[in-house]
Structure 1
Amino acid sequence: MNQQNYDKLKSLKLMGMAEAYENMSQGQQFDELSFDERLSLMVDHEESLRKTNKLTRLISAAHFPMKAAIEDILYQEDRRLDKALILQLATGNYLTDGRNIIFKGPSGNGKTFFATAFGVQACRQFNKVEYKRLPHLVEEFKLAKYQADGSYLRLMKKLVKTDLLILDEWLLYPLENEEATIINARHEAQKSNIYCSQLNISGWYENLGNGTVAEAIMERIIHNAYDIELDGKMSMREKLSFKQTER
C-alpha cells in the first residue's frame, strides 16, 4: 500500500475509499482486478459508508423514544391490522404525496411504536424526521419565547421544514397557537405528519378550541389522512412482556 495515497484519501475525508484501498493492499484476491474494477470497489465502499453514516445521523437527530422497525410489527389476529396497507405506507409514498397518518387507540396499544417504526423507515429513505411529544413541545415553545438568541424562530423553522413530523400524545391537552401555526404551515408546504392519539377523531374538536379555526385545522389534518385504529384484547406492552418471557 502506498501510504501517501492512503493519507491523502483520509485527508480528503474519503474514509470509505481509504478503508477499501487498505483492504485491497492486504488481500491477494484483488491482485487480478483491473484498475477500473478496483476503483469501482473503492467508490462503492465510499458510497455505502456515507449512506450508513447519514442514516445514523438522521435517526439520532429525530430523537426517537425507542427502537422500532417496520419488520418488527406484530400482526396478531386480534389487532386487526391491514398488513397490505402497512407495507404500502412503508414504501414512503405518503411522504411524496404529502399525506398524514393517524394512529389511534388506548394507552399501551403500540401507537408510539408504530410512529417510531414509520419514522425510522422514513430515515432509511433519507428523509429528515422529528419526533415530539405534544406536551413537551408546548413547554419547549414556552422556554424558547423568553430566549433572546432566536431559539423560537429556529424551532418554528425546523418543525415546518422537516420532511416528517411525528406528534405523539396528540391533543392530550388543548392545542396552543404555535402548534396550530405549524400544522397550517406544513399543510401549505404539503409536508406529512404522523399523529398518535388516545382520542377518536370525533373527540378532537373540543381540544382544538372549537369554532372555525378548529374546523380548518381538522380539515387540514384529516383530509386524505390514513386513519389506523390500533386494537387488541391485550396491549402491546403485555404482548411484548409475554414474548420476552417465552424467550
Structure 2
Amino acid sequence: MVFQGFTGSGKSYLGCALAKQACRNRIRTHYVRMPDLEEEWVQAQDKPLGAAKFLKKYGAFTLLVVDEWLLDRPSGDFLRILLELVERRYGSTSTVFCTQYQQKDWHQRLGSGVHADAIMDRIIHNTIWIETGSYNMREKTGAVQA
C-alpha cells in the first residue's frame, strides 16, 4: 500500500493507524522512517553478517510501514539492499510506503538505473495507491489553536 500526499496530509497517521491495528490483531509489525532504516543499514555493514541480519529482521515482519519513503535519495549500497529487502517481502508480506512523491518521480529518486527498475517493478504491481491530498492538516490545526 502507498499513502502519497502533501506534507501534513495524514500519511504517517494512516500508516501508524494500520500498524496499531495490526498489532492489536497480533500481527508482527514494525514502523520505520526511511532515514532511520538507512542509518541502521550503515551501522549493520560494519558488523559480522550485518547485511544478512538486517535483511532477515526487516524481511520477517508481516507488516512493515516505511515512512518518509524516498525523502532522501538512497545511496548505491543502500539502493542494493532496498532491492533485496523488497524482493524478500514481495508476495509474502505487506509493506506500506508513506511518501510525498508521486509514482512518476520514484524512478528518478531511486537513481534511474536497473536497481530502480527492479524496485519499482516489485512495488507498483498489486499495490493500493491512496492519495491523501494536498491539504496540510498541521497548518489547519495550528491556525485553529492560535
**TM bucket by the smaller chain?**
0.7 to 0.9
Ranges in structure 2 where 5+ consecutive residues have no aligned partner: none
Deviations 1:22-63 (A, max 9, x none): xxxxxxxxxxxxxxxxxxxxxxxxxxxxxxxxxxxxxxxxxx
Report the Cα offset of residue 185 of structure 1. 1.1
2:78 is equivalent to residue 179 of structure 1: no
2:143 is equivalent to residue 218 of structure 1: no
2: CA distance, partners of 1:231 / 1:194? 17
2:96 is equivalent to residue 194 of structure 1: yes
Q: CA RMSD in A?
A: 2.0
2:127 maps to amino acid: A
Taking the TM superposition and a 5 Å limit, the aligned residue runs for 1:4-153 are 101-148=1-48, 150-153=49-52
Ranges in structure 1 where 5+ consecutive residues have no aligned partner: 1-100
Q: Residue in 1 aligned with 2:64?
A: 165
Aligned partner of residue 133 in structure 2, secondary structure: coil
Report the Cα offset of residue 111 of structure 1. 0.9
Aligned partner of residue 230 in structure 1, secondary structure: strand
Question: What is the percentage of aligned positions where both structures have the same residue?
Answer: 35
1: CA distance, partners of 2:62 / 2:71? 24
Instruction: Decide whether aligned partners of structure 1 residues 124 and 153 sit closer, same or farther in structure 2, where only a CA change above 3 A counts.
Output: same
Report the Cα offset of residue 180 of structure 1. 1.6
2:54 maps to amino acid: L
Aligned partner of residue 53 in structure 2, secondary structure: helix
Aligned partner of residue 47 in structure 2, secondary structure: coil
1: CA distance, partners of 2:20 / 2:93? 17
Is the CA contact 2:5–2:134 (under 8 Å) kept in the aligned structure 1? no
Instruction: Decide whether aligned partners of structure 1 residues 206 and 162 sit closer, same or farther in structure 2, where only a CA change above 3 A counts.
Output: same
TM-score (norm 1): 0.53
2: CA distance, partners of 1:232 / 1:136? 25
Aligned partner of residue 3 in structure 2, secondary structure: strand
2: CA distance, partners of 1:108 / 1:216? 30
TM-score (norm 2): 0.86
4+ runs of 1 displaced by more than 6 Å?
Answer: none
Report the Cα offset of residue 131 of structure 1. 1.0
Report the Cα offset of residue 219 of structure 1. 1.8
Is the CA contact 2:6–2:134 (under 8 Å) kept in the aligned structure 1? no
Deviations 1:158-186 (A, max 9, x none): 10011011111111222321122101111
What is the number of equivalent residue pairs in this alignment?
A: 142
Identify the structure with the greater helix proportion: 1
Identify the structure with the greater strand proportion: 2
Report the Cα offset of residue 151 of structure 1. 4.3
Report the Cα offset of residue 154 of structure 1. 2.2
